[in-house]
Amino acid sequence: MSSLQAVHNIPEICAQLGVTDVVLSPGSRCAPLTIAFARHPDITVRTVPDERAAAFIGLGLAQTQRRTVALVCTSGTAGLNYAPAVAEAYFQQIPLVVFTADRPPEWIDQLDGQTIRQADLYGAHAKGTFSFPADASHPDAQWHATRLVSEAIGLAEQYPAGPVQVNVPLREPFYPKAGEELRFEPVKVTRELPGRSQLPASVLAELRDAIRTTSRVLVVAGQHPAAPDLLRALRQFSAAYQVPVVGDLIANLHLPAASDFDQRVRFLGRQDVFMAVPEPGLKEALKPELLITFGQSLISKALKLYLRQAKPAQHWHVQAAGAVADTFQSLTKVVRMEPADFFAAVLAEEQSSSAGSTGVTEALEPGAIPSATPVSADTLSVAAARAEGSGFEPSNPVAQDATRVAPAPTLAEPVRLTWPASARHLSAADTLAKAAYLKPWLAAENWATDFLQQFMQQPNQPFNEFTAIYQTLHQVPDRAALHLANSMAVRYANILGVPAGRMIEVFANRGTSGIDGCTSTAIGAALARPDRPVVLLTGDVAFFYDRNAFWHNYATPNLRVVLLNNHAGGIFRLIDGPRQQPELEEFFETRQVLTAENTARDFNLRYVAVSSFAELESALPTFFAPESGASLLEITTHSPTNAAFFEQYRAAVKSSFA
């Protein structure tokens, strides 16, 4: 038996446990791993020379396919270059198994080449580290090696998912002899079978009663992948209890819950607009008594700071397992369930206890959803006003005035959302109280929607990136995956949103919020789903920092990169602090004169450059056309102009509520 047989069995273990995508970076020490993965018939191997880009491409593959991806690199600093993506995977809860080739343990710290201390290389940013045996000739060592790889994959996939490291010390010779075939032996693997937590009926009843009897209940969603079962349960829950549901764009609440669902209906997502207004009455009207959260991070700093200031008496976070952050400094309960299961279970408990009673909602079959059950700012507020005669109307037509775009919402009269199975189990007093809290949220959302439409469409604008993004987002193809780079791209998009009713799933590296691998992650997504358009919206610093994302040999005809090039780190002109400093241009913006034309030519990307609204309008249809292939659209703007226009926007938000 080969001394490397235990290493050669690693791909077989991975394949049996469903890990069939591997991203590796070439090297000598990792040759036994490379050859074994490359020769396994059930493994797809992609080679990316730059380890940092390779790891983010692997993250994009895993994020898109929602299953574990393996990374393979050589010894020394190669594994360190995985660290940014490993940290991102840890905080986004994305499963990666990182195989780092290493020197045998006796040669660590002995001044041997490409040798560092690789054990526990990622520290607190990996779920675990496993040390593969340096000598697996003994049967017990072979059993240990097989068990160890199974455990590593199981840990990566165990909720909450995340990255694990398997450090593999290897001795020479690394390469099989000429003509020697590798054998993939039958191996015994250990499989993790997922389970789902449920709460006792008495606890669910207690939570349900608190939701029913508390007037000011608010649901806030953090970053979350698209999940139709969650959307259906959440819409039904919000209808039954008359609860506003708020989420950033990366929470993917904007997606339709099912193919037959009314795509005009949306949850609330304009908080970056209406939370920025200095209206004390509005802020007081929005203050929750019970906050229910799920998901990961928020983009909206305004909402985050508001909830820290307007601390609710109760804050429940719904998460099946793992550490829970007290983001708003108000956490009182951790509900150990999947969010979809929680919202469905609370409602099912209500339906079960109230079925057959007079005046309560009718019982539903398991999985059945009323034909229309969402909280809607634009559609249902009008229907509610008609049904209840409350006088609640959408915002008035807006004058063409960039400094005063829309009137503040009226907060006085109550409103009830009416549709099948909505709030019938609530008493009249409960319904009135909840409606009084629901109305300002709907009014604020409705105002913000009108405000943005009018402000972004005002005539005679200077060419600026904010409006350019607004126009671009309206042209993103349906069913696309939209990747948002960090810095201003993700912030602009969160303010503007995507057009209503579009099946556009949104991704962003908000685990660590770094710019370092945004392009690579999008390329991983394009490789994972060649049948789906992948659109990356990025800034110049993030783009040029990650140019090696394109350094590979795999076609991505479905990739579209929209590059906002203001020749600087433009975000520093938009935030208080650096923009007031004399060192702004040299030490914060770090101005650069690069364009992406050479990068596009080097990597065979179709290149289009625009610097006016007319050019942008002309370029977008062809750019997004399926037959255009991998393309890069460079939108060149002037950083001070961008800053001035965005400041005009912020002033308009505030003055509209004066």
Q: Whole-angstrom Cα distance, residue 168 to residue 73?
A: 10
Q: Whole-angstrom Cα distance, residue 434 to residue 314?
A: 16
Q: Are 269 and 246 in contact (CB under 8 A)?
A: yes
First and final C-alpha spacing in the chain: 81
Segments of the chain assigned to CATH 3.40.50.970: 4-169, 458-656
- Per residue in 405-422, is it b (16+ CB within 10 Å) or e — as a string? bbebbebeebbbbebebb
Q: Are 98 and 141 in contact (CB under 8 A)?
A: no
Residue with tokens 């675990």: 128
Q: Whole-angstrom Cα distance, residue 166 to residue 152?
A: 7
- Give how far Cα 1 sits from Cα of 32, 38, 103, 133, 169, Å: 15, 20, 22, 16, 19
CB neighbours of 48 closer than 8 A, spacing ≥ 6? 23, 24, 25, 54, 57, 551, 552
Beta bridge partners of 246: 220, 268
Q: Are 527 and 556 in contact (CB under 8 A)?
A: yes
Segments of the chain assigned to CATH 3.40.50.1220: 201-348+427-440
Farthest-apart Cα atoms in the chain, separation: 85
Beta bridge partners of 564: 539, 635
Nearest residue to 291 via CA among 272, 310, 275:
310
- The reported pLDDT for the residue numbered 194 is 79
Q: Whole-angstrom Cα distance, residue 43 to residue 22?
A: 7
The architecture (CATH level 2) of 201-348+427-440 comes to 3-Layer(aba) Sandwich (3.40)
Nearest residue to 438 via CA among 372, 342, 374, 521:
374
pLDDT under 50 in the chain at which residues?
261-265, 354-422, 658
Nearest residue to 419 via CA among 544, 236, 554, 245:
236
The two structure tokens encoding residue 512: 């660590």
Beta bridge partners of 73: 100
Q: Whole-angstrom Cα distance, residue 456 to residue 174?
A: 61
CB neighbours of 143 closer than 8 A, spacing ≥ 6? none
Cis peptide, bond prior to residue 394, ω within 30 of zero:
no
Q: For 458-656, which CATH class? A: alpha beta
Helices (H), 114-183: 139-157
Q: Whole-angstrom Cα distance, residue 509 to residue 490?
A: 10
Q: How many residues does the chain have?
A: 658
Q: Are 464 and 448 in contact (CB under 8 A)?
A: no
- The reported pLDDT for the residue numbered 586 is 60
What CATH number does the domain located at 4-169 have? Answer: 3.40.50.970
- Whole-model pTM: value is 0.85
The two structure tokens encoding residue 309: 């200031």
Q: Are strands 631-636 and 290-294 parallel, antiparallel or unpaired?
A: unpaired
Q: Whole-angstrom Cα distance, residue 650 to residue 342?
A: 38
- The reported pLDDT for the residue numbered 256 is 76
